[in-house]
């Protein structure tokens, strides 16, 4: 037995075979000490134990000068064992949109499976939108969860797969996950709303379902042409006078070029205003994400209309990428003012380092 243990320690390959034999109710020592007729021993080959087993042979005693070599009887009908690695399945494809009936302004159930609702408990009060980027991680705006990151008594949940907030008997039921960790971007400024981005880690992983799936994250060099038709989603208002929506809404918005966006925002922020390269603008025809702006400073530029933290997604080659996180806007759906979004590609490295993709 001592010699058997020594052989196991000295030969890693033998350990692999031992596991196979164990599940077949035969240990290594039992196999190599089994009684075999003298005539069969005369026909054996001396080789390493792992080599004997992979050739479909029967090892029954030690031989030669090495502690790892065994006498191996290989019958004519023996079949080699395939020790090639099984194909590794890749990650599920991201950014696959669900069924779209073409209804203007309203999403369909499972159409945007990465859109999540962030809620406060007790009470399940809606806080903000967010995006499922990984089975454990949700991307949202820092201004949405800043207060919760400092208050351990208030708990957040993420509701996955929600569509109609008034119903609980939908065919595709929502699923809730507790938030285990809140990570604000280290450079987040709650006065200027620069670096308005945060990550939430779920305590338990999200399970991929027809109405629950992940969005694609763009690399920093992935470009979308100006005026690309992108989409924002949420339960918020589309203008100052409308009401909050019971079902998830969608709005098609084009991307703005930087100079046009700066010109528009300078009417509110002054002639010296410059748009950071960590921001991107989108919106058209009086429609934006309705994260309402009511102040002469950015300090109060929070989720006053209910869509903050949600995704701005753009399509490329059949997949949807999250280009922006809804941050703020001037008023709510004003015709000449775009919505302002944290530009996700600029945070590729931070997201990967945090999530450890």
User: What is the pLDDT at residue 133?
Assistant: 97
Q: CA 176 to CA 322: how far, in whole Å?
A: 22
- Residue 23 per-residue DSSP state: H
Rounded to an integer, what is the distance from CA 281 to the centroid of its chain? 24
98 bridge partner residues: none
User: What is the pLDDT at residue 141?
Assistant: 97
Tokens of residue 266, six digits? 């300078």
Query: Across the beta sheet with 69-73, what order do the strands follow?
Result: 45-48, 69-73, 58-62
**Per CATH, which fold does 115-355 belong to?**
Thrombin, subunit H (2.40.10)
Q: CA 198 to CA 315: how far, in whole Å?
A: 23
* 131: nearest Cα among 252, 205, 253, 233: 233
Q: What is the reported pTM?
A: 0.69
Domain locations along the chain: 2-73, 115-355
Q: CA 170 to CA 81: how far, in whole Å?
A: 50
Q: CA 303 to CA 285: how far, in whole Å?
A: 21
Tokens of residue 128, six digits? 């903000």
* 341: nearest Cα among 138, 215, 194, 146: 194
Q: CA 124 to CA 193: how far, in whole Å?
A: 26
User: What is the pLDDT at residue 43?
Assistant: 58
pLDDT (tens, 9 = 90+) of the chain, 357 residues, equals: 444 444 444 444 444 443 444 344 333 333 333 334 444 445 567 776 656 655 667 766 666 555 556 777 766 555 444 434 333 344 558 999 999 888 878 899 999 999 999 999 888 888 999 999 999 999 999 999 999 988 776 789 999 999 998 888 888 899 999 999 999 999 999 999 999 999 999 999 999 999 999 999 998 888 888 767 899 999 886 556 667 788 999 988 899 999 999 998 898 888 888 999 999 999 864 454 444 433 333 333 333 355 799 999 999 989 999 999 999 876 554 556 788 999 999 999 999 999 975
Sign of CA dihedral 327, 333, 338, 343: positive
* Integer-rounded Cα radius of gyration of the chain: 30
Question: Are residues 127 and 118 in contact, defined by beta-carbon separation less than 8 angstroms?
Answer: yes
- Residue 345 per-residue DSSP state: G
User: What is the pLDDT at residue 166?
Assistant: 87
Strand pairing report for 125-132 and 137-140: antiparallel
User: What is the pLDDT at residue 241?
Assistant: 63
* 126: nearest Cα among 285, 304, 271: 304
**CA neighbours closer than 13 Å in the CB half-sphere of residue 125:** 8
Tokens of residue 283, six digits? 């919106």
Question: Are residues 320 and 279 in contact, defined by beta-carbon separation less than 8 angstroms?
Answer: no
């Amino acid at each position: 037995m001592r010699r058997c243990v020594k052989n196991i320690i000295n030969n890693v390959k033998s350990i692999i075979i031992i596991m196979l034999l164990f599940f077949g109710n035969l240990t290594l020592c039992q196999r190599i000490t089994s009684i075999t007729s003298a005539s069969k021993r005369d026909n054996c080959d001396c080789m390493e134990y792992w080599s004997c087993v992979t050739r479909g042979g029967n090892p029954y005693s030690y031989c030669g000068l090495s502690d790892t070599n065994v006498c191996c009887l290989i019958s004519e009908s023996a079949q080699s064992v395939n020790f090639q690695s099984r194909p590794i399945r890749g990650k599920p494809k991201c950014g696959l949109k669900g069924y779209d009936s073409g209804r203007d302004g309203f999403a369909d159930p499972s159409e945007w499976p990465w859109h999540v609702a962030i809620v406060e408990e007790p009470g399940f009060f809606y806080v903000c939108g967010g995006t499922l980027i990984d089975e454990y991680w949700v991307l949202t705006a820092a201004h949405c969860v800043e207060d919760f990151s400092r208050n351990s008594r208030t708990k957040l949940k993420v509701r996955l797969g929600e569509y109609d907030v008034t119903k609980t008997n939908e065919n595709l039921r929502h699923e809730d996950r507790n938030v285990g960790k809140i990570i604000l971007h280290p450079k987040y400024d709650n006065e200027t709303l620069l670096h308005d981005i945060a990550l939430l880690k779920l305590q338990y992983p999200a399970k991929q379902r027809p109405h629950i799936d992940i969005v694609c994250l763009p690399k920093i060099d992935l470009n979308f042409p100006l005026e690309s038709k992108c989409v924002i989603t949420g339960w918020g208002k589309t203008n100052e006078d409308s009401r909050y929506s019971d079902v998830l809404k969608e709005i098609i918005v084009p991307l703005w070029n930087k100079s046009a966006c700066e010109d528009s925002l300078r009417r509110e922020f002054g002639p010296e205003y410059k748009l950071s390269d960590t921001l991107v603008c989108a919106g058209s025809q009086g429609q934006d994400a309705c994260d309402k702006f009511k102040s002469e400073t950015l300090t109060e530029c929070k989720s006053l209309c209910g869509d903050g933290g949600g995704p701005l997604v753009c399509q490329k080659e059949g997949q949807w990428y999250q280009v922006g996180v809804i941050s703020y806007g001037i008023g709510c759906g004003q015709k000449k003012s775009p919505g302002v979004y944290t530009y996700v590609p600029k945070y590729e490295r931070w997201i990967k380092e945090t999530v450890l993709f």
